[in-house]
Structure 1
Amino acid sequence: MRMNHMIHYLKQLSGKVNPSMYASMQDQSNPHHISMLRQMQKEMKMKNTLEVPLNELRVVVFDLETTGFYPNKGDAMLSIGAVKVTGETIENDTFYSLVQSSTAPSDEVTALTGITVEDLESAPALSDVLARFYQFMKGHTLVAHHAKHEQAFMQHASWSLMRSNFDHRIVDTSFLIRIVDPKQRGFQLEDCCTTCGVEVKDRHHALGDAKMTAELWCYYVKKVQELGFTNLREVYERVARMG
C-alpha cells in the first residue's frame, strides 16, 4: 500500500495522524518475519476448535502490557506474556518478551508495569516478537481476560505489519464466568482471582497476569463442565442466548 493511501486509512481510523506510527511500521517490518507471519496467519484460519472437548482443549492464555487502550491512536504493545494450558492443566511452557516501541510509556505506565524507556530500546522488534509468539501458540486456541483489549492490539499489529486481519479466535474468560455466575458484574482480574482463591502475584506484568488468567481459566473450565458444557460451541451458544 502506498504511503499516501496508508495516511488516508489512518485518518479514517483515528481522525488524526501520529508520526510515531509510521516509524514503528518501518522499524519493525523484517521481511523474513513478515513472510513467516503471513504463513502462520493462513494456518490459523484453518483451525476450528469449537468442537474439541474442553478437557482436551489446548489453549495459550496470554496478556499484553500496553501504553494505553487505543492502538489506532498511537498506543503500543510493551510486552507479551503467555502460558500453555491443556484442559484443566497448566503446562510448564511459557512465553515472555518486551517489544521495541517508538511510543514511550508514560510515568504512570512505568510505575504500574515496571517497564522503562531503556527496556524498550533494547527489546526485539514487533515483527520478531510476533513471529516467535505465533510459533509458540501454533495449534492452540488463544484465551485472554477482557479479550477485546488483546484483540484490538493484535488486529492493529497484524494490519500494520502484514496488511491482513487478525482472524484468530480469542476466547474471553468472562464468557465462562458469566455462565458459572450470571450475577457477577465486576470482571477485574484481581477481583476474579480473589473470588476463586487464586493468589494475586506479579500484577501488571504480562507473564504474571497470563499465569493468573490461566488459573482462572482452569477453575472455570472445570465449573462449566460440571454444569454440562462439553465444548466451546456450547459455551458460545449459551453466552449468545444470555445477551
Structure 2
Amino acid sequence: MAFEPFMQLLRSVQKRRIGVGGSVQNSQQMAYLRHLQKEINKENAMLVPLQELNVVVFDIETTGFIPEKDSILSIGAIKMKGSRIIEEEQFYSLIYFDQTIPKDIVELTGITDDLVRSAPNIGDVMIKFFEFTQDATLVAHHASHERNFMQYFSNKVFKTPLKHRIVDTSFLYRIIESNFQNISLESLCEHNKIPIIDRHNALADAKMTAKIWSIYINKAIEIGCETLEDVYTHFAKLKY
C-alpha cells in the first residue's frame, strides 16, 4: 500500500476542515480515500509473528454509548511493536463539541465544555488519527465501544467504512485468564500490578491498555501462540 501518497492526500483533505456534516469537496480525493481503505489487508496481520506485529492501542471518550446520538470527545493512542510500547509515538486530541457535555461525563473524564469549544472537529481529528495509525492493527479494551463509534463516524464523515482491524484485548487475555469475562480495565490493571493513572483520559487509558497487551502478548507466546491467527484459534476453543 502506497502510504506516502496517502499521507499527501490526508494532508490536503485536512486543510479542507471536514465537519461531522461536511464532505470532501474533491470527489477524486474521496474516491482515493475509499480506494486506500479497501487496500488495507487485514488478513496479513493475522499471520505476522506476534513480536513483530505493529499495533496502535487506542481509546476514546464519548458523551454516551450510542453513536447515532452521542459524540466522540477525545481520542488517545500509542504505538507498539510486538510487546514493546513505543513511548515516543503517541496521539491525543480533544474533539469539538458544540452542545453541553452531560455532567456525569464531565465528572468522569474531566473534559469540560470550554475545553472542546476550541478543539478541532471530528473530521480533522480522524484524518490525523489515520495518518498516525497508517495500516497498523488497532487494539482497544472492550473494543465494541470504540469500533461502533469509529465505524459510524467514518461512514458519516468520509462516506466509507472503517477498514482497520480492531482487536479486543479480551481475545488475548482470556486465552490466559479463561475465568475473566468482561473484566474492567481497572481490575485487569490491578491483577497485573499496573498503576492506574488518570483513568478515563483517552491517552492514559490507551497507555494502560498497551501495558496489558504487552503482558499478555508475552504470555500468549509462552503457550505457543505465534500469530493473531493462533490467538483466535485458542479463543475459539474456550468453553462459555
Give the structure-2-normalised TM-score.
0.85
Instruction: Report 1:28-107 matches (<5 A).
Output: 28-29=22-23, 31=25, 35=30, 37-38=33-34, 40-45=36-41, 48-72=44-68, 74-91=69-86, 92-107=88-103
What SS class does the counterpart of residue 64 from structure 2 fall into?
Answer: coil
**Does the 8 Å contact 2:175/2:220 carry over to 1?**
yes
Correspondence for 1:201: 197
**Does the 8 Å contact 1:95/1:136 carry over to 2?**
yes
Instruction: Report 1:71-150 matches (<5 A).
Output: 71-72=67-68, 74-91=69-86, 92-150=88-146
Q: 1:46 offset after TM fit, Å?
A: 6.2
Q: Distance in 2 between matches of 1:125 and 1:30?
A: 14
Change (3 A) 1:186 1:165: closer
Match of 2:178 among 179, 182, 185: 182
Q: 1:193 offset after TM fit, Å?
A: 0.4
Q: Distance in 1 between matches of 2:176 and 2:157?
A: 39
Give the counterpart letter for 1:166 in structure 2: L
Give the structure-1-normalised TM-score.
0.84
Q: 1:184 offset after TM fit, Å?
A: 1.6
Q: 1:40 offset after TM fit, Å?
A: 4.3
Q: Distance in 2 between matches of 1:120 and 1:187?
A: 30
Q: Distance in 2 between matches of 1:29 and 1:79?
A: 21
Give the counterpart letter for 1:90 in structure 2: I
Task: Give the superposed CA RMSD.
Answer: 2.0
Q: 1:44 offset after TM fit, Å?
A: 2.5
Correspondence for 2:155: 159
Unpaired runs of 5+ in structure 2?
Answer: 1-18
Q: 1:197 offset after TM fit, Å?
A: 1.1
Moved more, 94-103 or 132-141: 94-103
Give the counterpart letter for 1:217 in structure 2: W
Give the counterpart letter for 1:230 in structure 2: E
The superposition leaves residues 26-79 of structure 1 with CA deviations (integer Å, 9 ceiling, x where unpaired) of 2x54547x737535423435662000000111100000000011102x111000
Q: Distance in 2 between matches of 1:128 and 1:198?
A: 33
**Does the 8 Å contact 2:142/2:169 carry over to 1?**
yes
* Larger helix fraction of residues: 1
Q: Distance in 2 between matches of 1:39 and 1:104?
A: 37
Q: Distance in 1 between matches of 2:161 and 2:184?
A: 28
Change (3 A) 1:88 1:175: same
Q: Distance in 2 between matches of 1:45 and 1:104?
A: 40
**Does the 8 Å contact 1:81/1:97 carry over to 2?**
yes
**Does the 8 Å contact 2:142/2:182 carry over to 1?**
no
Give the counterpart letter for 2:76 in structure 1: G
Q: Distance in 2 between matches of 1:46 and 1:209?
A: 25
Give the counterpart letter for 2:80 in structure 1: V
Q: Distance in 1 between matches of 2:25 and 2:137?
A: 26
Q: 1:162 offset after TM fit, Å?
A: 2.1
Change (3 A) 1:232 1:47: closer
